[in-house]
Amino acid sequence: MFTPWPIGFVSTPYKDTSDIPKGLGTRHDAEGVITILPDFELGLTDIEGFSHLFVIWEFDRTQHFELLGTPPADNRRHGVFATRSPLRPNPIGLTVVELLHRNKAELHVRGVDMLDGTPILDVKPYLSSIPSESLRRGWLEEAEARANGNATVS
């Protein structure tokens, strides 16, 4: 096992979890700033060439976990590993953000869904060779179909 430590922190408009948009059709368009600590700033070299980034972060205000829960997008219970719940055995979050620009140790991004002051554990360029038509969305597709009045999903 390893002990993670923050490489930086994020500034966002969200002060409380109730402020973060959730549920079916939610879009994460809020902008924020990821500030990388001075010891790690050199690691941002050449990051400007990427449009999107994976941001790995800590649910630092979570005190416990639940293996089953009812997400805001559905009225049925699902396993924690099939959701984006913050109540996880290892309180690690993953978000894809759009990189708007870099200013020294600051990454200005769009698409934040974490609380203001959240510790950032890692940043990686978003790379995927999976075509969008090959991706499946699991129970979320079924929940969306029920919300739209469709009994089944094709």
| Rounded mean pLDDT for each run of 10 residues along the chain, 154 residues in total | 95 96 88 98 96 96 95 92 94 96 98 97 91 82 83 54
Residue with tokens 């939610």: 26
Please report whether residue 22 resides in a domain.
yes
User: Which residues, at least 6 apart from 96, have a Cβ–Cβ distance to it below 8 Å?
Assistant: 52, 53, 54, 55, 111, 126
Please report whether residue 2 resides in a domain.
no
**How many domains does the chain contain in total?**
1
Please report whether residue 125 resides in a domain.
yes
Kindly report the CATH number assigned to the domain that includes residue 100.
2.40.30.70
Return the structure tokens found at 52: 């999107």
Q: In sequence order, what DSSP letters do the residues of 8-77 get, joined into one string?
A: EEEE-S-SSGGGS--STT-----EEEEEE-GGGGGGGTTGGG-SEEEEEEE-TT-----SEE--TT-SS-
**Residue 43 and residue 36 in contact, taking contact as beta carbons nearer than 8 Å:** yes
At position 18, the amino acid (one-letter code) is S
Please report whether residue 154 resides in a domain.
no
At position 58, the amino acid (one-letter code) is E
DSSP label at 144?
H
Please report whether residue 153 resides in a domain.
no
Return the structure tokens found at 20: 């973060």
pLDDT at residue number 26: 86
Side-chain-facing half-sphere of 117: CA atoms under 13 Å: 5
- The parent domain of residue 69 ranges over 8-147
Please report whether residue 94 resides in a domain.
yes
Please report whether residue 3 resides in a domain.
no
Return the structure tokens found at 24: 């079916």
At position 96, the amino acid (one-letter code) is V
Output the pTM of the full model.
Answer: 0.86
Please report whether residue 1 resides in a domain.
no
